[in-house]
A and B are shown apart, each in its own frame.
Chain A
């Protein structure tokens, strides 16, 4: 079936350290993998995305890697800051990008 698994569900890191969140997906035909950040009381917002023809993408302190063979992708945040504290969701496209299926979310806390 259509499934996206996300780990860990909670993550706590010291300010300045790196954070890594991992997701696996079930459909080998999935070709679009966005990551959303949702701050408390706010709407989810896209922070980075990657397509299946690329193995890695970076935008300042955040990067995403994709392993199509293993059907998993990861979000990497370096030099974490307090404002990085939020819930992060991964997603994968299904049915030819007709829809996105989201992971269960990771609550990231940055400790000063």
Chain B
């Protein structure tokens, strides 16, 4: 596998379920990101991690809980979601924060549907 991968690609869950999204990057990058893509807000930044440390939480509700065990893996734990959380969740990685102008590479996304 090369680049940025995400699993699962599709997920349907009820409002009382707990699930996790996984992202893995094989690019040797130090920074990883979660974005939410919906019709309302096409590319909305949720979280930023740099060298496993969270550096940005864009006022995301606590029902979304990120985890970054190392620079190659990023998780998004989901619990008690609402139907309006249905969206495409994109993961991205870049060379590292602090270096001006780093290209972000995106994963294919997880299409989440909350019933």
Q: Is A93 an interface residue (CB 8 A)?
A: yes
B48/A105 in contact, CB under 8 A: no
Closest residue of chain B to A9 (Cβ to Cβ) is: B42
Q: Give chain A residues whose Cβ lies under 8 Å from the Cβ of B98.
A: 96-98
Interface hit among A12-20, A45-53, A67-75, A77-85: A45-53
Are A104 and B42 CB-contacts (below 8 A) given A43-B90, A43-B106, A44-B106? yes
Q: Given A43-B90, A44-B106, A98-B55, A31 and B100 touching (CB < 8 A)?
A: yes
Asked if B100 and A89 sit within 8 Å, CB to CB, the answer is no
Interface of chain B, main secondary structure:
loop
Question: Number of A residues contacting the other chain (C-beta, 8 Å)?
Answer: 23
Q: Quick check: A31 and B42 within 8 Å, CB to CB? A: no
Residues in B with CB closer than 8 Å to A44 are: 43, 90, 106
Proximity bits, A83-109, B CB within 8 Å = 1, else 0? 000010101010011111110110000
Give the chain A neighbours of B106 by CB distance below 8 A: 43-45
Q: Would you call A43 and B45 a contact (CB within 8 A)?
A: no
On whether the beta carbons of B43 and A93 are closer than 8 Å, the reply is no
User: In residues 57-114 of chain B, which contact A (Cβ within 8 Å)?
Assistant: 90, 97-109
Within 8 A of A (CB), among B14-49: 33, 41-45, 48
- Give residues in B with beta carbon < 8 Å to A: 33, 41-45, 48, 50, 55-56, 90, 97-109
A-B residue pairs, 7 tightest by C-beta: A32-B101, A102-B43, A43-B106, A105-B42, A97-B100, A98-B97, A44-B106
